[in-house]
Structure 1
Amino acid sequence: MSAHPEDWPDGLLLAYYGDDFTGSTDAMEAMTAAGVPTLLCLDTPSPELLARFPGVRCVGLAGSSRGRSPPWMDDALPPAFDALAALGAPILQYKVCSTFDSSPAIGSIGRAIDLGVQHMPGNWSPMIVGAPRLKRYQAFGHLFAAVDGAGYRLDRHPTMSRHPVTPMNEADLRVHLRRQTERRIELIDMVRVRAPDAAASCRALQGDDTPVVMIDVLDEETLAAAGRLVWENRGAGVFSASSSGLQYALAAHWRACGLLPATPALPAAEPVSAIAAVSGSCSPVTAGQIRWARANGFCVERLDLRRALDPRAGDAEIARTIDIAERALRQGHSALVFSAEGPDDPAVLDFDSIARDAGLSRQDAARRVGGALAEVMRRLLDRVAVRRVVVAGGDSSGEVASALGISALSVAGGLAPGAPLCRAWSNEPRRDGLEIVLKGGQIGDASFFGAVRAGRLPD
């Protein structure tokens, strides 16, 4: 298929709000690797900030809605969508996790869609969740994810079916989403998306009620086909609640048109002698990474949650872990402070009682844990000059990045898919230029922390 420069509009191609910080960097990585310069803002993008990056064609805004209630969304999302829509990109995205983390009460994707479609004129709201590069696959509306070489329907996934806040008990995304919105939900399945008349099928589903139209993505063929459907039916502008599958799909289509390089790539990162890391993830994948770090020379220290959430003992517990991590870093060792080691960790199994004893709801207690880890990282960086840091866990990533006074992030290098090495932009000289990785719980192999230190994945 041939294409011409005029097939791309001037200015931004895409603007997105990320429902957590790790997902926001995942989307940024997907676009940057494809050859689309991208900037991720940690606060509403100002003209002054954007003026520093004149070549940017995609802008993201990192948020925390994945762990928030619908009333919170009603207050926070409309001004964010307003600001992003004003940038003039033809696609406005609410970026969701590729495991569709959500429920009617927490992180409601349905509520976000009902709010978001009001900000774009389109008469449909495309949804792409499958992302083969991240081992996420959607077939006939059902979502699957692969872990350690084995594929699982999401409601039988070893982590997502047991997620402490938004456990997935339904793999059919149409059924799952109908619990969160009364909006019409349609599907272009893996057979229809490959068909010659896929575009006609797409147009037939559109309407004044602005339905959600899910598009199956199972492989590279369906990925590019999905991207073509969205791009060629964007009209005067559409709103899409999608994972980074949307970024991968658009890039695949643009690449097929000759608008992007055939071989996407990210810059190579240099090794560093030591890194500082904090982890609030409960994932078994992260647990394996913590075990690897412990066995491979990292100083690994647990943040005791019962003490950390106790108003009388919290500061002392934070100070204790900082002292241990500081000593390790000054001796040339990498340091990792964590709050849980997998879903069967006593800190996870007893979390409800820990929260009750602290006089907190489960949701508020989870946020406090992220805040405690953020305080560990902030104070640690004030004491020791560290070039590269890692945060594991979506909620923790948001708390840490916010606490460090970072204005924006750009991709500095590639590591594991979905967890790039980022360069921090800040008005604070101590933070400007900091290299940071925000890692979702399911991302990376066992040696991930070592790969961050080495600047590359093992051969």
Structure 2
Amino acid sequence: MLLGAIADDFTGASDLANMLARNGMATTLYVGVPEGDVAPAEAGVVALKTRSIAPGDAVRQSLDGLAWLQRQGAGQILFKYCSTFDSTPEGNIGPVAEALSAALDAGVAVVCPVFPATGRTLYQGHLFVGDRLLNESGMEKHPLTPMTDPDIRRWLRRQTRGEVGLVPYAVVRQGAEAIRAALAEIGKTAKLAVVDAVTDDDLKAIGAAIADARLITGGSGIAIGLPDNFRKAGKLGAGGTAYSGLSGPGVALSGSCSRASLAQLARHLEGHPGFALRPDAVMAGDVTVAAARDFVLSHADEAPIVHSSADPDAVKAAQERFGREAVAGAIERFFGTLAQELVAAGVTCIAVGGGETSGAVVAALGVRQLAIGPEIDPGVPALAGEAGARSIRLALKSGNFGASDFYAKALDVMGTSR
């Protein structure tokens, strides 16, 4: 294994695996830390569910992932988090990055949550989503990780013990040598360096500058420039993984409340049946998994959607009444159990919206390894795996990713050989 990656949620892991595969690395996605050694891959992505847990637990699980990747021979480690830097003032991005850096004796590590294809850019250390600062993008209302400050250096300083440097855009535009020199200077006083980027070409220049880095941190966009380093060294083979579509019933599950997810839900409901999970109804037991399962199976040929997506204010009201973690846990368990029962009943294709929801679904199905298929929308590939003895196809979408017609398109790609 040349490159080993640790992702803090399942949608991010599939996003990163997609990026690496598209750029020519034979890539395998692992759900959780495997128990033993596996068949060789040029890049291995370990998908964890550590974004919203206690920082200490996130650090421990990430270090377990690091140890396994090192046993597989990975010489370079990438810590992947969301391109909207989803975290709280306590963590978990900063604590995990510091722990990985210490374990690797990594020197200075890049911090770059940029993904231009989805509108995430970084200028003077400030993160933008499209033409809006992060804290004006809707992320300030995220139910688990509200992002109220677009200054990534300032956010990281709240989470970490050390200094955080900045490689500004004026330096990045000068190319790889200038970036490398700036990082070396920052490395005299800091272990983390936020690096501006606006375009894919910027990310390629950053990738060239960090070819020898032991640790890299960022969104999936940072991986744009990494495969070329291995290619130039003559270490890459033919790349690619085997994937084929799988015919059969499909369903969409939406647990995200982002603006993009709400728009995708509204679009899908225009032509497909939907089953709503109101947070207060789930908590009160007024809606059951059996009812949702029967609804989906009765509309199996119509690409139905089951959704807990709601206006953030409605979600906040339920959280205030029952507790944030209690509401999130109940909805995740609902989706996980529902996915189990649907697959047992013959559903073969599941498109999932939301990182926490995706993690709950994959964990409940017991999927351990996934092959990377065609890209559905930027950052979202189709995935092939096994749930017990059943073959399934999955699409795991971060809440903010995907076009308005994502769900219909995803089910089509998963159910059709490409």
TM-score with structure 1 setting the length: 0.83
Q: CA deviation at 1:240?
A: 2.5
Instruction: Give the root-mean-square deviation of aligned CA atoms.
Output: 2.6
* Residue 337 (structure 2) pairs with residue 375 (structure 1): yes
- Aligned amino acid, residue 251 of structure 2: A
- C-alpha separation in 2, matches of 1:267 and 1:450: 23
* Structure 1 residues without counterparts, runs of 5 or longer: 1-11, 356-360
Q: Which residue of 1 aligns with 2:171?
A: 192
Q: Which residue of 1 aligns with 2:281?
A: 307
Conserved? CA contact 1:301–1:338, under 8 Å: yes
- C-alpha separation in 2, matches of 1:271 and 1:451: 14
- Aligned amino acid, residue 288 of structure 2: E
Q: CA deviation at 1:184?
A: 1.8
Report how many aligned residue pairs link the two structures.
412
* Residue 318 (structure 2) pairs with residue 351 (structure 1): yes
* Residue 378 (structure 2) pairs with residue 417 (structure 1): yes
**Segment drifting more, 398-407 vs 211-220:** 211-220
Q: Which residue of 1 aligns with 2:297?
A: 326
* Residue 176 (structure 2) pairs with residue 202 (structure 1): no
Aligned with residue 446 of structure 1, among 404, 407, 410: 404
Identity across matched positions, percent: 25
- Aligned amino acid, residue 253 of structure 2: V
* Residue 4 (structure 2) pairs with residue 19 (structure 1): no
Q: Which residue of 2 aligns with 1:181?
A: 160
- Aligned amino acid, residue 317 of structure 1: T
- C-alpha separation in 1, matches of 2:170 and 2:229: 18
Aligned with residue 240 of structure 1, among 216, 233, 239: 216
- C-alpha separation in 1, matches of 2:28 and 2:13: 10
Secondary structure of 1:45's partner?
Answer: coil
Q: Which residue of 1 aligns with 2:87?
A: 102
Conserved? CA contact 2:370–2:385, under 8 Å: yes
* Residue 267 (structure 2) pairs with residue 292 (structure 1): yes
Secondary structure of 2:216's partner?
Answer: strand
Q: Which residue of 2 aligns with 1:62?
A: 47
* Residue 239 (structure 2) pairs with residue 281 (structure 1): no
Q: Which residue of 1 aligns with 2:108?
A: 124
Q: CA deviation at 1:259?
A: 8.0
- C-alpha separation in 2, matches of 1:399 and 1:230: 34
- Aligned amino acid, residue 202 of structure 1: L
Q: Which residue of 2 aligns with 1:6?
A: none
Deviation per CA, 1:229-267: give whole Å up to 9, x if none. Answer: 111x42xxx222211122123246667899889xx9999
- Aligned amino acid, residue 305 of structure 1: P
- Aligned amino acid, residue 211 of structure 1: K
Q: Mark the CA change 1:114 to 1:319 in structure 2 (over 3 Å): closer, same or farther.
A: same
Aligned with residue 307 of structure 2, among 326, 334, 338: 338
* Residue 214 (structure 2) pairs with residue 229 (structure 1): no
- C-alpha separation in 2, matches of 1:401 and 1:198: 39
Q: Mark the CA change 1:291 to 1:399 in structure 2 (over 3 Å): closer, same or farther.
A: same
Secondary structure of 2:350's partner?
Answer: strand
Q: CA deviation at 1:142?
A: 1.1
* Residue 392 (structure 2) pairs with residue 434 (structure 1): yes
Conserved? CA contact 2:107–2:191, under 8 Å: yes
Aligned with residue 38 of structure 1, among 27, 31, 52: 27
- C-alpha separation in 1, matches of 2:392 and 2:122: 37
- C-alpha separation in 2, matches of 1:131 and 1:251: 16
Secondary structure of 1:350's partner?
Answer: helix
* Residue 349 (structure 2) pairs with residue 388 (structure 1): yes
Conserved? CA contact 1:266–1:414, under 8 Å: no
Aligned with residue 123 of structure 2, among 131, 139, 154: 139
Secondary structure of 2:266's partner?
Answer: helix
- Aligned amino acid, residue 89 of structure 1: A
Q: CA deviation at 1:47?
A: 3.9
